[in-house]
Each structure stands twice: as structure tokens, then as C-alpha cells.
Amino acid sequence: MKTMFTVILICFLITACSSSYNVSSSSEDKSVDEFNKLAEGEEAEIILLDKSVITATEVYLSSDSLHWFNPETKLKNSVVKSEISKVLFSDMWRGGLEGAGFGLLSGGGAGLLFGAATFSQNGLTEDPVVWDGAWTLFGGACGTLIGFPIGLIIGHTNEYKFQNTDQQRNYNK
């Protein structure tokens, strides 16, 4: 049982959920509005094509540039879209909910397996449904209690990939 718990815990720690979106340079694209709605009040990591990473707040995307406030330098900066690789936002509450869900499912499954494996050894009840159900609920509750804080720590990443002209040409080939 300790081994199974350890494996489940390691899986939680290395597995993080994310969502990817593409931002194109098209003027008809609605992804700019969606980006700005998500970016409002959030901290972001901006990854440029030269692989440099910038931590920013007050991120705003216009039709041709990305603007932000750098909390380290206390300056407003901007860069043209063609120099951006991607922008990452982390949502800890959504990560917590996803962690709780994964914990509920994996803990409930582990509880069900444990209950099924130990049913013949108990003398408490003759009904396997009650025994298995109790262990499933117990395992699910434990998994939720473990998964929620891990999900809060890891968070859910929203990744916006920028489709630059050169990237679009290479992609269409």
C-alpha cells in the first residue's frame, strides 16, 4: 500500500495540466480579446524567440505588440508580436480543482482495489458492496485531500503560442 501511495503522489507531482491557445497575426482573430480578458490582473511569463524569459504584470496585447509592466525594473515595456514565442499564465485555483479531481479518482480507485483485496479477510460485514464502497469513499476522500494542495502548488498553465509569419510559413509547408 505504501508503494501505491508513493507512486500516486509522484504522479501528482510530475503531472500538471495545461491549456494551449494560438494567437495569430490576423486582424479578424478573436484570440487577442480572449488573451486580454485572461491577462487582466494576472502575472505572466513571456518567453521570447531568443528563449529569454520575462516575468510581467499588467500584460496587454494589441494588434501588433505585447505591452507589460516589469515589477523588477518598475518600467513599462513592449515587444512586437513577431519576437514572442509564447506567454504563460498560471491559475492555482483551477489547478487545485484539477488536483482534487485526480485525487478523488485515483484515491477512490485505490480504495476500491484495497477493499476488494481485503474483503475475504474481514469479519465485519458479509456484504462486499458496503465494504468496497466504504474503502472507495475513504480512498477518494484521502486522494482529494492530497490532490487539492498539490494542484494549488502546481497550478494550471494557460499557454498562448504566438503564430509569427515565419512560423506560419514553416507550419504550412
pLDDT over 90, % of the chain: 31
| pLDDT of 15 higher than 70 | no
pLDDT digits (tens, 9 = 90+) for 56-104: 888 999 888 899 998 888 889 999 988 999 999 988 898 899 999 999 9
Q: What is the DSSP string of 33-50?
A: HHHHHHHTT--EEEEETT
Cβ pair 66, 59 in contact under 8 A: yes
CB atoms within 10 A of CB 90: 17
The confidence band for 33, taking pLDDT boundaries of 50, 70 and 90, is confident
- The pTM score is 0.67
Which has the closest alpha carbon to 114: 127, 131, 99, 126? 131
Per CATH, the number for 20-91+155-164 is 2.30.30.100
pLDDT of residue 24: 66
| pLDDT of 132 higher than 80 | yes
Between 94 and 3, name the one with better pLDDT: 94
Provide the residue ranges of all domains of the chain, joining segments of one domain with +. Answer: 20-91+155-164, 93-153
CA dist., res. 144 & res. 152, Å (int): 12
pLDDT of residue 108: 93
